[in-house]
Amino acid sequence: MLLVEMFRSVLGKTLGFVGYTVQYGCIAHCAFDYIGELVVCSGPSMEPTIVNHDIVFSERMSRQLYKIQKVIGLEGDKVCTSSPSDLFKAHTYVPKGHVWLEGDNLRNSNDSRSYGPVPYALIRGRVSLKLWPPHSFGTLSESPTRRIIKTQSDSD
């Protein structure tokens, strides 16, 4: 009888732990999907605004509320597809349902000039806060060259 009671106790604690894990997992999933997420950055595309290994918060509210507005190019906009060093400038129009994204580091950025227009549905969020390193903690202001994605709430 003692063995059965121990088994019930262990099973009850295990199921309780699994239940809490599932609940917190669901809460975390919803928070990351609809509020935002922490991102460890890599690559030179956004230098000097964001550098390799910076940790930023990417908010998803703007995307969920469809409040992304013009910066580099939205559907129908004419954008320059050339790099800054090109002698002759080439242009294209952003197709319907797409946006044109460019990094702050125009001379060394993997962006729409490399891979073309990005479908609007692939935009996951907007980087709004730099968390690491501590000396650069805070909200991200306009980039030195221009802002990549801006929401309506930023312009109000």
Whether 19 and 68 share a structural domain: no
Check whether residue 47 and residue 115 sit in a common domain.
yes
Which pTM does this prediction carry?
0.62
Dump strand ranges (E) for 21-77: 36-40, 55-59, 68-69, 73-74
Instruction: Please tell me the predicted confidence (pLDDT) of residue 155.
Output: 41
Q: Domain check: are 89 and 126 in the same one?
A: yes
Sign of the C-alpha dihedral computed for residues 101, 151, 50 and 125 taken in this order: negative
Which own/partner pairs from 93-98 qualify as long-range (CB within 8 Å, at least 24 positions apart)?
97/121
Domain range for 105 is: 37-155
Residues 60-97 have pLDDT tens digits of 877 666 666 557 888 888 988 877 677 888 888 999 98
Q: Please check whether residues 41 and 20 belong to one and the same domain.
A: no
Q: What is the pLDDT of residues 93-145, one digit of tens each?
A: 999 989 888 888 878 888 888 888 999 888 888 888 888 888 888 777 654 44
Spatial neighbors of 149 by CB under 8 A, at least 6 apart, are 62, 68, 71, 99, 101, 123, 126
One domain, residues 45 and 12: no
Q: What are phi and psi of 114, to 5 degrees?
A: -95, -45
Specify the number of domains making up the chain. Answer: 2
Distance of CA 5 to the CA centre of its chain: 50
- What are the angstrom distances between the C-alpha of 22 and each of 17, 27, 130? 9, 9, 30
Based on the fold, state whether residues 9 and 64 are members of the same structural domain: no
